[in-house]
Amino acid sequence: MKKEHGITILILVALWQVLSMVVHNDILIPYPLDVLQNVCLLFTKSIFYQSIFSTLGRVVVGFGISFISAICLSIVSSYSKVFRNLFAPLQLLTKSIPNISYIIIALVWFGSEKSVSIICFLILFPIFYNNFLFSMDNEPQELKDVQSIYPESFFELVKKKTLPMLIPTILSSSKMAFGLGFKVAVMAEILGQVRNGIGKQLHIARLNLDTTSLFAWTIIIICICFIIDWIFDQFINRKSNGG
């Protein structure tokens, strides 16, 4: 973390402390120290780890299905204009539907437990598909020249040219999509009232007017998103450095 980041965080915490002292109402704005104590307390409870792993499991399922289907369909679209034109209306449809519509429809059709992963898939698939297809459409001219000189079969082209070319896009898209999928999953859990998950804990805190727990879980969500970004940054840096 850079020094400037630390200064910004200190300023925000100081403003938070001032607001909580002015309002002096834990239901509206709890004190930072109370929230920190609540965060530490969460680490001692088994439900804390069950909730995190339940939510992450749903995200991984939706993320994995959307990634695999998007990379397969985008590669086929890149090599086949007929398939690309046939799939274009579906691509436009997935980009146009509001996220909240996905969530409500999935909850009605599939129920609360299954819908979270399905919602993640529906929201993340257009991101992967469009990014992968854009990257292949902007293929360097030297690769096209090599392909014309040394023609290969479709599977050999995918293995030797397309997939290696897509690696930077895969890493950057995955970083953005996983973080988004995690936040969408939490929102879907709240609306669907799943049996277990971070969204369930937020829902319970809201019902109990336990704003301290709401803030504590929000901090946990921010930390998880930060860790996810950091992990993907390590892979991206390693790849850019030739690792």
Summarised one tens digit per residue, pLDDT across range 176-230 is 999 999 999 999 888 888 888 999 999 999 999 899 999 999 999 999 999 988 8
Task: Report pLDDT for 53.
Answer: 94
Average pLDDT over residues 18-29: 88
- Residue owning tokens 């936040």: 183
Task: Report pLDDT for 164.
Answer: 81
Q: What are phi and psi of 48, to 5 degrees?
A: -60, -50
Task: Report pLDDT for 57.
Answer: 93
Task: Report pLDDT for 59.
Answer: 94
DSSP state of 28: T
The region of weakest confidence among 44-48, 54-58, 82-86 is 82-86
The region of weakest confidence among 13-17, 71-75, 114-118, 155-159 is 155-159
Task: Report pLDDT for 15.
Answer: 92
- Whether the pLDDT of residue 113 is over 80: the answer is no
Average pLDDT over the chain, rounded to an integer: 85
- Whether the pLDDT of residue 64 is over 70: the answer is yes
CA 138 from centre of chain: 25
pLDDT digits (tens, 9 = 90+) for 96-111: 777 778 788 888 888 7
Average pLDDT over residues 60-67: 94
Using H for helix, E for strand and C for coil, what is the string for 137-149? HCCCHHHHHHHHH
Task: Report pLDDT for 108.
Answer: 84
Domain boundaries along the sequence of the chain: 39-240
Distance, in Å, from the CA atom of 159 to the CA atom of 155, rounded to the nearest integer, reads 6
- Residue owning tokens 């437990």: 113
DSSP character string of 130-188 = HHHHHHHHT--HHHHHHHHHS---HHHHIIIIIHHHHHHHHHHHHHHHHHHHHHHHHHH
Q: Which two tokens stand for residue 27?
A: 């239901």
- Whether the pLDDT of residue 243 is over 60: the answer is no
- Residue owning tokens 């840096």: 237
* CATH class label, 39-240: mainly alpha
Distance, in Å, from the CA atom of 139 to the CA atom of 161, rounded to the nearest integer, reads 10
Question: Residue 166's CB: how many other CB atoms inside 10 A?
Answer: 20
The pTM for the full model equals 0.85
Average pLDDT over residues 74-82: 88
